[in-house]
Amino acid sequence: MKIAPFGVEEWMNKYEVDAEYNIAETCVESLTVKELLNLSGEAEQKIKEIKGMKLTYGDIMGSKDFKKGVCSLYENVRPENVLPSHGAIGANFLLLYSLIEAGDKVVSVFPTYQQLYSIPESFGAEVKRLELKYEDGFLPDLDKLKELVDQDTKLIAINNPNNPSGVMMEREILEEIVEIARSADAYILSDEVYRGLDPEKDVPALVDIYEKGISVGSMSKIFSLAGLRMGWLTGPAEVIEKCQLHRDYTTISNGMIADYLSVIALENKDKILKRNSKKVNEQLAVLDNWIRAEDLVEYVKPSGGTTAFIHYKLDIPSEEFAKRLYKEKGVLTVPGTAFGRDKFLRIGFAGNKNELVDGLALLKEFIAENK
């Protein structure tokens, strides 16, 4: 099966490990195992339990406590409608693998996480792109969406908040997208890995507002635990059934220890989200001040998530820009071309604060040297 190279993952695989100032990272700065166990207030007891675990396949469909924890992130989700996966990347794949066949029609927002359009394309589906434009604040043009969706559309793929722009669609827009999908009886896959950081700014999960909505989430970004490789999808019973059938061929189960540690995080989610929303707000302010002081750079200020897609006004193609920035200054960003847009860079602003501050200062120097 042929598939397009995954632009952003190829780039990160090549440069991430040795980056001196990594401002490309999308996770809120990861927690250590010790920090996570300490959140539980009974670290010693938890370590004892891990030591005593017999390493079987565990609960094939995920532990009861894990599913209960995931349900607590939604208004109307029941444990039997939660399917654990290998990260959100595994959930997106499983859903597309289970639902999409050659000849199916799919509409995907663009730019976004490439899985959402390249996987259906690789299965032989016809994928139409709904362009999210800088001049529209990276929000969808819903008239355009109406034009792209017809009675044969099987699935609409969205990503909220969006990677790379960090722009979050509010309830009104989501409800309009649901109406368009409903008129075609189409599914909506909503990749929501960046949703839920700040309860005050929360937007609904697709699964809570649409009978054919599928929401994907994970422990990686807002819970700072990418190393657990735990994610999930949740949706209507018939979708879960199809995904379960396909999951037997790809997953068996998730790791028992990862499930166990995820439960600790979900039981202590208020503490993690408090730490993380504070950090994201503070570091977005750092980025925002930097942008305001820099004439050659502009952006749509992110309203959710951990990434920003910044536009620079220099005559350098974005891949060359990002490579030279990395070589000359040790600063890792992601070139816009990994998301199909030149003259943009994706910045992740929720990682290590010192790296963000130093990385942005070096980026400023680089811009000054090249204008």
Ligand X SMILES: Cc1ncc(COP(=O)(O)O)c(C=O)c1O
**Minimum CB distance to ligand X, residue 12 (Å):** 9
**Minimum CB distance to ligand X, residue 295 (Å):** 30
**Minimum CB distance to ligand X, residue 136 (Å):** 20
Q: Taking CB under 6 A as the criterion, which residues in 225-244 touch ligand X?
A: 226, 231
**Minimum CB distance to ligand X, residue 193 (Å):** 4
- Residue 275 CB neighbours (<10 A): 16
Interaction between residue 23 and ligand X (CB under 6 A)? no
**Minimum CB distance to ligand X, residue 296 (Å):** 27
**Minimum CB distance to ligand X, residue 86 (Å):** 7
- Residue closer to ligand X by CB (options 334, 363) is 334
Structure token digits, residue 190: 């909503």
Type of residue at 167: V
88 Rama class: left (phi>0) / alpha (psi -120 to 50) / beta: alpha
**Minimum CB distance to ligand X, residue 284 (Å):** 17
- Residue closer to ligand X by CB (options 94, 181) is 94
Q: Are 192 and 206 in contact (CB under 8 A)?
A: yes
**Minimum CB distance to ligand X, residue 306 (Å):** 9
* Residue the block writes with tokens 């007891």: 45
- Residue closer to ligand X by CB (options 158, 297) is 158
- Residue closer to ligand X by CB (options 159, 234) is 159
- Residue closer to ligand X by CB (options 118, 370) is 118
Interaction between residue 191 and ligand X (CB under 6 A)? yes
**String marking each residue 55-94 x if it binds ligand X according to CB under 6 A:** --------------------------------xxx-----
Using CB under 6 A as the binding criterion, the count of chain residues that bind ligand X stands at 13
Task: Point out the residue whose Cβ comes nearest to ligand X.
Answer: 87
- Residue closer to ligand X by CB (options 186, 216) is 216
- Residue closer to ligand X by CB (options 12, 239) is 12
Which one of the spans 119-127, 218-226, 253-261, 267-275 is the region binding ligand X (CB under 6 A)? 218-226
**Minimum CB distance to ligand X, residue 5 (Å):** 16
Q: Taking CB under 6 A as the criterion, which residues in 303-362 touch ligand X?
A: none
Q: Taking CB under 6 A as the criterion, which residues in 110-129 touch ligand X?
A: 113
Interaction between residue 193 and ligand X (CB under 6 A)? yes
State the sign of the Cα–Cα–Cα–Cα dihedral 230, 138, 5, 367: negative
Size of the chain in residues: 371
- Residue closer to ligand X by CB (options 43, 173) is 173
**Minimum CB distance to ligand X, residue 328 (Å):** 26
Print the SS3 string covering the chain.
CCCCCCHHHHHHHHHCCCCCEECCCCCCCCCCHHHHHHHHCCHHHHHHHHHCCCCCCCCCCCCHHHHHHHHCCCCCCCHHHEEEEEHHHHHHHHHHHHHCCCCCEEEEEECCCCHHHHHHHHCCCEEEEEECCHHHCCCCCHHHHHHHCCCCEEEEEEECCCCCCCCCCCHHHHHHHHHHHHHHCCEEEEECCCCCCCHHHCCCCHHHHCCCEEEEEECCCCCCCHHHCEEEEECCHHHHHHHHHHHHHHCCCCCHHHHHHHHHHHHCHHHHHHHHHHHHHHHHHHHHHHHHCCCCEECCCCCCCCEEEEEECCCCCHHHHHHHHHHHHCEECEEHHHHCCCCEEEEECCCCHHHHHHHHHHHHHHHHHHC
Candidates 159, 160, 277, 337; binder of ligand X (CB under 6 A) is: 159
Kindly list the residues in this chain that would bind ligand X in the complex (CB under 6 A): 26, 87-89, 113, 159, 163, 191, 193, 218, 220, 226, 231
